[in-house]
Amino acid sequence: MHKLFGLLTLLVSTLLITGCSDPVTEKPAAATNGEPARTYEWKMVTTWPKNFPGLGTSANELAEAIEAMSGGRLKIKVYGAGELVGPFESFDAVSRGTAEMGHSGAYYWKGKVEAAQFFSSVPFGLTAQEMNGWLYFGGGLELWRELYAPFGIIPFPAGNTGTQMGGWFNKEINSVADIKGLKIRMPGLGGEVLTRAGATTINLPGGEIFTALQSGAIDATEWVGPYNDLAFGLHKAARYYYYPGWHEPGSTIELLVNRDAYNALPADLQEIITQAATQANLRMLAEFTARNSAALATLINEHGVELRAFPPAVLEELQQHSQAVFQELVDRDPASAKVFESFSKYRQQVMEWHAISEQAIMATRPIPNSAD
């Protein structure tokens, strides 16, 4: 009888422990008070064509990472340019809460806030590595967030394309005189520099560039670099491919987050956004570094693209125009003056360091033979 009672007791205990509860894997996420955790469904609008290699896919990966890290509590649907809003309407969409997130480049918003251009890339400015140093440890991110605060937006660095190419031309550029009269697609302060050099500059979203170049609506264009330029087929519409990308030495991609939506999140989801953006910032630069080198070989060896370097005299004159453009900007816009002071001080300091580190070691490396 005692044995039977013991067996019944063991059976009841087992049922209480295992039979009356769901498996752990089937339980919904729980908040600290024991209630199921709230889930959030957000929208992300982008400046890029949907699923465009490198830029569009990075937005997708960022959204996927946030969902995975949050255990599905924060889901983000990504919209390509034109799907929900136009490619140059992302900033406004996030500001007014039409979308909680945006994925873009800060220089597209110079018509709203001129100083934003310093947080993408400016002529003869900072490389990707240097930009990250300024943003994370040189006070740049704090200035960027101060700049966007009146619009209800919190910006995060979320990628970098690295040093870009100088652009696609159907005529050789041997002097600045060859730039005069050309219609060139180039956004930001780089476009202003070319305007001073005698060109007519146009800002077009990425998805419109190939048609404009092929039809002759523009005479030349910059986009990003070999990886993205090959994807757009720009080699089919222009003969000469120029370097270096003096106008964008290290282009930061931004994640825009609506401040009210962000503040409504619990602290752990806010931190997940921060860490996912930081990971995306690192990953994009790594991807572009690897894929640009492979795409350049394809453009030259398979498509016969003619690679050209801007003559030193051209770069020197463009640099002079850049200094004049910067001076005009800081003279007319107090916010730009404040950002430029921090930017310039950091640039001078990091250039002195890189002269004996990054630049010095690169100068010791032999240029590989293209036939190797």
> What does the pLDDT look like over 220-232, one tens digit per residue?
999 999 999 999 9
Tally of CB atoms within 10 A around 252: 29
What pLDDT score does 11 carry? 33
In this structure, is residue 368 part of a structural domain?
A: no
Residues 74 and 176 in one domain: no
Q: How far is the CA of 108 from the CAs of 115, 219, 269, 369, in angstroms?
A: 11, 21, 28, 38
In this structure, is residue 15 part of a structural domain?
A: no
What pLDDT score does 49 carry? 95
Give me the residues paired with residue 241 across strands. 168, 307
CATH number at residue 297: 3.40.190.10
Residues 270 and 137 in one domain: yes
Q: Evaluate whether 219 touches 96 at the Cβ level (below 8 Å).
A: no
Residues 221 and 264 in one domain: no
What pLDDT score does 24 carry? 33
In this structure, is residue 18 part of a structural domain?
A: no
> What does the pLDDT look like over 178-216, one tens digit per residue?
999 999 999 999 999 999 999 999 999 999 999 999 999
Residues 85 and 188 in one domain: no
Domain count, the chain: 2
In this structure, is residue 32 part of a structural domain?
A: no
Residues 185 and 63 in one domain: no
CATH number at residue 105: 3.40.190.170
Q: What average pLDDT score do residues 57-81 get?
A: 98
In this structure, is residue 353 part of a structural domain?
A: no
What pLDDT score does 35 carry? 59
Give me the residues paired with residue 78 across strands. 44
In this structure, is residue 372 part of a structural domain?
A: no
In this structure, is residue 179 part of a structural domain?
A: yes
**Torsion angle of the four alpha carbons 110, 257, 50, 70, in this order, in degrees rounded to the nearest 10:** 160
Residues 266 and 317 in one domain: no
Residues 67 and 214 in one domain: no
pLDDT-derived band at 137, boundaries 50, 70, 90: very high
Residues 192 and 118 in one domain: no
**pLDDT surpassing 60 at residue 128:** yes
Per the rule left: phi > 0, alpha: psi between -120 and 50, beta: everything else, 139 is left
Residues 278 and 199 in one domain: no
> What does the pLDDT look like over 255-292, one tens digit per residue?
999 999 999 999 999 999 999 999 999 999 999 999 99
Q: How far is residue 210's CA from residue 238's CA, in Å, rounded to a whole number?
A: 10
**pLDDT surpassing 80 at residue 217:** yes
In this structure, is residue 119 part of a structural domain?
A: yes
- Where would I find the H helices in the chain? 2-14, 56-69, 90-96, 128-137, 140-148, 188-196, 209-215, 226-232, 259-263, 267-301, 312-332, 334-355, 358-363
Q: How far is the CA of 154 from the CAs of 104, 143, 150, 254, in angstroms?
A: 13, 11, 10, 10
Residues 279 and 294 in one domain: no
Q: How far is residue 119's CA from residue 56's CA, in Å, rounded to a whole number?
A: 19
> What does the pLDDT look like over 12-57, one tens digit per residue?
343 333 333 333 333 445 455 555 789 999 999 999 999 999 999 9
Percent of the chain residues past pLDDT 70, beyond the cut: 89
Per DSSP bridges, beta strands 220-221 and 183-185 are parallel
Residue with the bigger pLDDT between 338 and 371: it is 338
Residue 65: CA atoms inside 13 Å, Cβ hemisphere, count? 19
Residues 220 and 323 in one domain: yes
Residues 237 and 260 in one domain: no
Per the rule left: phi > 0, alpha: psi between -120 and 50, beta: everything else, 249 is alpha
Containing domain of residue 74, as a range?
40-160+251-286
What pLDDT score does 131 carry? 98
